[in-house]
Structure 1
Amino acid sequence: MTKPQGSIRVGIGGWVFEPWRGTFYPEGLPQKRELEHAAAHLGTIEINGTYYGSQKPESFARWRAETPDGFVFAVKGSRYITSRRVLAEAAPSIEKFFFGGVMELKEKLGPINWQFMPTKAFDPADFEAFLKLLPRSVDGVAIRHAVEVRHDSFRTSDFIALLREYGVAAITAADSDYPQIADVTAPFVYARIMGTSETEPEGYAAADLDRWVQRAQAWSHGEVPGDLAKISTDAAEAGPRDVFLYVISGAKVRNPAAAIALTRRLANSD
């Protein structure tokens, strides 16, 4: 009997990167068609520009129109929210973020990545106050939240318990110097892998690509990959989960090739 399985989408961070022209993007492709090309080969893209500043509502609407049905954008939350000293005071900024145009993505709005600086330590009370501020839905659209923490103080079962209470995903930052948290805390999984190498034509060696395919499939079945360390000994609720897997950082020029190689392997494993 086949196990129930959530969807698995593999993508990259952003779509504007000059070294991708002539490598990922065909020579002569107009820049205005680069998103269209990327979305034809990938299932998702993480929008990074929203971390640094606001984007126009017309931009979100255009990005939605330029991508096919079923495509999903993850969106980075504003750094002006996650970098503040007191997270509990972020309510006005969170409201501004959601009503500043991002909802123009409509059904193509995927998870929000709330990324924290490596200097941000875990303050249980203040972090819970932040989680309470995150809207479950906006304009009738359900919102999925994920947090990417980069300070070792978050490596505690108290943090995992908080995320599970509020249904927020702990982003697995893998193949990097950041804390790797593989605990499943939400109805979906969000992973960012950062170990591509320029010497590998597909970014990762074949064995490493196969390993990430196996991990993504495990997550999609509601399991935790056995070769990734968890923080908490408490088991997550069972059930299939959607998986969002992004190839980020590392040798950025190779990231699209790695994402496409992972997508191809997943398709062939069905």
Structure 2
Amino acid sequence: MAGEVRVGTSGWQYDDWRGEVYPPGVGPGKWLSHYVGWFPTVEVNATFYRLARETAAERWRDTAPPGFEFVLKGSQFITHRLKLRGAHEAVGRFFAPLVPVLERTAVILWQLPPNFRRNLDRLREFLELLPPTHRYAFEFRDDDWFHPDTYALLDAHGAAHVWLSSSLTRRHELVATGDHVYVRFHGLSEDAYRHDYRDDELRPWAERLREVAAAGTAAWVFFNNDAAGHAVRNARRLVAMLGEAARPWPPPSLDPLSVLEADGGVVDLRHSDRATLPGR
């Protein structure tokens, strides 16, 4: 359904999730298999730091069950080094190894650096060279970008302005652009990624996202406060607050063999207590 809210986390490969999220004895190669039983979507952070390998894209595709959606984070070489300038060849190199997973990709996220001020000509040029077959979202870390002209340009190209819950920027404007909504929770404390959201911090977001869903707009929401498994707990809590506005997951069609083997046993992800994680 177009108006569903998909909730997940920014990445899944975190060593300090061992024992907090992933059962003991489970190696990194099985972490994604476990994750896809919890959430219907994930941000792939690895594509921000380096070009993907085609074999990795194939593995992500083959691990995810039907209905699961990836979000790919755009290359930092494009956003932070080139700052979107003359990026035609770099964009081609970014997409080429990702072909196997593109059909399972819902959105491509571009996060601009805090030292990149508003440059509408450069943003327009970049938007025009992106393949029109995908949804895009843009996260701005410099407050200068929070401007009506920025929103108008994104909207004209169907791209989403990322809504932020974050201590990393001073301004957070919830202006919807394009045909979808994209939200990132970075954390509100001084050490943002270690922030553990309280219910009173999540409730206003749940209310706003229920309004988004009721209007028939698709939304993707990701928690980036990965420390100690906070992102998973907070994401599950938001899903509970969203109620019927959240995409139901896992679907009844999910093969019970899509499970995690640990310590010689099998955990059925459809019937295990996914909403309860061990405390710190």
Tell me which interval the TM-score lies in, with the shorter structure as reference length: 0.7 to 0.9
Aligned pairs for 1:136-175 (under 5 A) are 136-137=132-133, 143-175=134-166
Report Cα offsets for 1:202-232 as digits up to 9, x if no partner.
Answer: 932222233222122122234xxxxxxxxxx
How far does residue 255 in structure 1 lie from its aligned partner after superposition?
Answer: 0.8
Distance 1:155 1:133 in 2: 23
* 1:176 positional shift: 2.2
Q: Who is 1:113 aligned against?
A: 109
Larger mean Cα displacement after TM superposition, 24-33 or 165-174:
24-33
Residues 152-177 of structure 1 deviation map (CA, whole Å, 9 limit, x = unaligned): 11121111110111111111121323
Who is 1:97 aligned against?
94
Secondary structure (helix, strand or coil) at the match of 1:87 reads coil
Distance in 2 between residues matched to 1:187 and 1:170, nearest whole Å: 11
Equivalenced residue count is 241
Relative to structure 1, is the Cα distance of residues 217 and 165 closer, same or farther in structure 2, using a 3 angstrom cutoff? Answer: same
Q: Structure 2: how far apart are the matches of 1:85 and 1:95?
A: 14
Cα distance change of structure 1 residues 65 and 196 upon mapping to structure 2, 3 Å threshold: farther
Equivalent residue, structure 2, for 1:182 = 174
Aligned equivalents of 2:219, 2:42: Cα separation in 1: 13
The answer to whether the 8 A contact 2:73-2:108 is kept is yes
Read off the aligned partner of 1:256 and give its amino acid letter: V
Q: Given the superposition, is the C-alpha separation of residues 250 and 177 from structure 1 closer, same or farther in structure 2, using an over 3 Å criterion?
A: farther
Which of residues 3, 6, 15 in structure 2 aligns to 1:6?
Answer: 3
Contact 1:11 1:246 in 2 (8 A): yes
Q: Does 1:123 align with 2:149?
A: no
Map 1:3-42 → 2, pairs under 5 A: 6-42=3-39
Instruction: Determine the C-alpha separation between the residues in 2 that align with 1:17 and 1:244.
Output: 21
SS class of match (1:70):
coil
1:57 and 2:33 aligned: no
Relative to the length of structure 2, the TM-score reads 0.79
- Structure 1 stretches (4+) deviating beyond 4 angstroms? none
Write the deviation string for residues 229-262 of structure 1: whole angstroms up to 9, x where unpaired.
xxxxxxxxxxx21110001137453111111222
Instruction: Provide Cα deviations, 1:19-51, integer angstroms capped at 9, x if missing partner.
Output: 111011112223221111111001211011111
Which whole-Å deviations, capped at 9, do the CAs of 1:85-118 have from their partners, x for residues lacking one? 563411111111111x212114321211111110
Cα RMSD for the two superposed structures: 2.2
Paired position in structure 2 for 1:234? none
For 1:92, the aligned partner's letter is E
Aligned to 2:255: none
Contact 1:115 1:147 in 2 (8 A): yes
Q: Corresponding residue for 2:40?
A: 43
Structure 2 unaligned blocks of 5 or more: 247-280
Is 1:219 matched up with 2:212?
yes
Distance in 1 separating the partners of 2:19 and 2:187: 22
TM norm structure 1: 0.82
Q: 1:268 to 1:135 in 2, by over 3 A?
A: closer
- For structure 1, the residue ranges without an aligned partner over 5 or more in a row are 138-142, 223-239
Q: 1:6 to 1:192 in 2, by over 3 A?
A: same
